[in-house]
A and B are shown apart, each in its own frame.
Chain A
Amino acid sequence: MKRVKKAMFASGLLAFTLTLNPAAQADPDDDTLVIDGVEVITSAKGKEDGPLDELYSGWRFRSDETQSFQADDFENPAFVAIDQALEQFEVVEGAAGKACASCHEGGPEEFEGLRAALPRWNADTGKPETIQHIINECRTERMQAEPWKWEANEMLNMTALVGLQSRGMPVDVQTDGEMSPWYEKGKELYYTRVGQLDMSCANCHEDNYGNMIRADHLSQGQTNGFPVYRLKWAGLGSIHRRFKGCMSNIRAKPYKRGSDEFVALELYVASRGEGLAVETPAVRN
């Protein structure tokens, strides 16, 4: 037993040294994302007063195999969801007898640019709104249909379809004016250490991106590809699902999907990626 312990300690040290070896897969790679012949930028200069000098999409931290899933819309398994959402767009639901297409006669293309600017301020509710809020407001107010759950397949599919219309457009969110307190709240959440491991978002995604955490290559935690098809999930997931996952991993009690905390955090994290192109629906590990 003692020997095993010693051995583990030794290999622990070894792995530890490897982790620190700068040659061992530090930093993002230099690959270029070309989706069906169209280049999508995966890095951008950080803002002058911002926390990051250079912004990198999570795509740059993935293996060649994972990267290639995203380079072809056919090979990207998220496009099954896009097909399903295109069908759903035409489905009449609710007391008003309407489908998405009843109002949005121009089709999903009407939403070009929307994803890049979310979350945005909603004067009626007096809160920021995410893509999920916008879709459900349409469903309950205009279609008089039941709202979809945050992580329901229909919701994930539709958020992917709407997001896809902004692919390649730079993320650019409002952080001043009415959004200012939400931005500040999100920033505070980002830098606050929580959970039994006592870690903040910044410990991994600002201080250590490019380094290995166990066998995983840490990214900047950018949200420009969401909803993403995650190999681990074998399906699409929302930004808030990913936030919950991160919080559980550091043994913290996660906030709920759609909570004010996560909306504020979504806004702040989006602002950290301003300038990166929307990649929805991206593929990650």
Chain B
Amino acid sequence: MKLTRRDALTYSAGAIAMALVGLRGVSAHAGTEETGTAVSGFTGGVEPQSGMITLKAPEIAENGNTVPVSISVDSPMTADDYVESVAIFAEGNPNPEVVVFNFTPLSGEAAATTRMRLAKTQNVVAVAKTSTGKVFMDKREVKVTIGGCGG
């Protein structure tokens, strides 16, 4: 690619815009605490363990309007031992709650996929509650890009 002076200007303007967005991102951690409150509200105060639950989301989302997200929990899904519900939270959204999936033994598996809105780059958290009172959590950072064209 040949680089004209104009190209250079365009790109560096873009880079500055990115840098500005980055700065804004650093200062906006207000959601972490609120998310913690929301999580303990969901778990009834039980401290989540890691493992058993897998949260799948893109590392980089091309648009924050529609970000595919999947969860699956390792569970026998029998009447005696099944995943009751999985809640998804987004730390950097205006409100952390995204969705609560409620399963039954008839679900067969504790797995679901949806599409969510992410206001900016942030952590997405999934918390599972089993019928036996166990709580598991997984967390993943999703980078949300802004379009090149003002978008």
Do A and B touch (CB < 8 Å)?
Answer: yes
The answer to whether B66 and A234 have CB atoms under 8 Å apart is yes
Please provide the chain A residues from 177 to 202 with a CB less than 8 Å away from any CB of chain B in the complex. Answer: 197-198
Count residues of chain A with CB under 8 A from any CB of chain B: 38
With A8-B20, A16-B15 already in contact, the answer to whether A66 and B148 are too (CB < 8 A) is no
When chains A and B are docked, how far (Å) is the Cα of A11 from the Cα of B16?
7
User: Secondary structure of the B side of the interface?
Assistant: mixed
> Which residues does chain A contribute within 8 Å of B8, judged by CB atoms?
16
When chains A and B are docked, how far (Å) is the Cα of A14 from the Cα of B15?
8
Our count of residue pairs bridging A and B at CB distance below 8 angstroms stands at 99
- Among the 9-residue stretches A104-112, A137-145, A207-215, A260-268, the one with 4 or more Cβ atoms under 8 Å from chain B is A207-215
The answer to whether B6 and A214 have CB atoms under 8 Å apart is no
Partner of A285 from B1, B11, B15, B63 at Cβ < 8 Å:
B63
A15 closest partner in B (C-beta): B15
> Which residues does chain B contribute within 8 Å of A15, judged by CB atoms?
11, 14-15, 18-19
Given A65-B62, A197-B10, output 9 extra A-B contacts at Cβ < 8 Å.
A12-B12, A13-B12, A208-B7, A212-B148, A214-B145, A214-B147, A215-B145, A215-B147, A216-B62
The answer to whether A215 and B18 have CB atoms under 8 Å apart is yes
Whole-angstrom distance between the Cβ of B145 and the nearest chain A Cβ? 3
When chains A and B are docked, how far (Å) is the Cα of A64 from the Cα of B58?
9
When chains A and B are docked, how far (Å) is the Cα of A212 from the Cα of B22?
17
Q: Taking the complex as formed, is A80 at the interface, i.e. its CB lies under 8 A from any CB of chain B?
A: no
The answer to whether A232 and B20 have CB atoms under 8 Å apart is no
Chain B contact-residue range equals 20 to 34
The answer to whether A198 and B15 have CB atoms under 8 Å apart is no
Whole-angstrom distance between the Cβ of A182 and the nearest chain B Cβ? 26
> Which residues does chain A contribute within 8 Å of B61, judged by CB atoms?
63, 65
The answer to whether B148 and A8 have CB atoms under 8 Å apart is no
Q: List 5 A-B contacts (CB under 8 A).
A: A214-B147, A214-B148, A231-B65, A232-B65, A232-B147
Whole-angstrom distance between the Cβ of B17 and the nearest chain A Cβ? 6
The answer to whether A216 and B149 have CB atoms under 8 Å apart is yes
Q: Taking the complex as formed, is B68 at the interface, i.e. its CB lies under 8 A from any CB of chain A?
A: yes
> Which residues does chain A contribute within 8 Å of B147, judged by CB atoms?
214-216, 232, 285
Whole-angstrom distance between the Cβ of A92 and the nearest chain B Cβ? 35
Q: Taking the complex as formed, is A246 at the interface, i.e. its CB lies under 8 A from any CB of chain B?
A: yes
The answer to whether B15 and A20 have CB atoms under 8 Å apart is no
The answer to whether A12 and B149 have CB atoms under 8 Å apart is no
With A11-B19, A15-B14 already in contact, the answer to whether A232 and B148 are too (CB < 8 A) is no
Q: Taking the complex as formed, is A272 at the interface, i.e. its CB lies under 8 A from any CB of chain B?
A: no
Best-buried of B16, B63, B150 by chain A (most CB within 10 Å): B63
Best-buried of B60, B65, B66 by chain A (most CB within 10 Å): B66
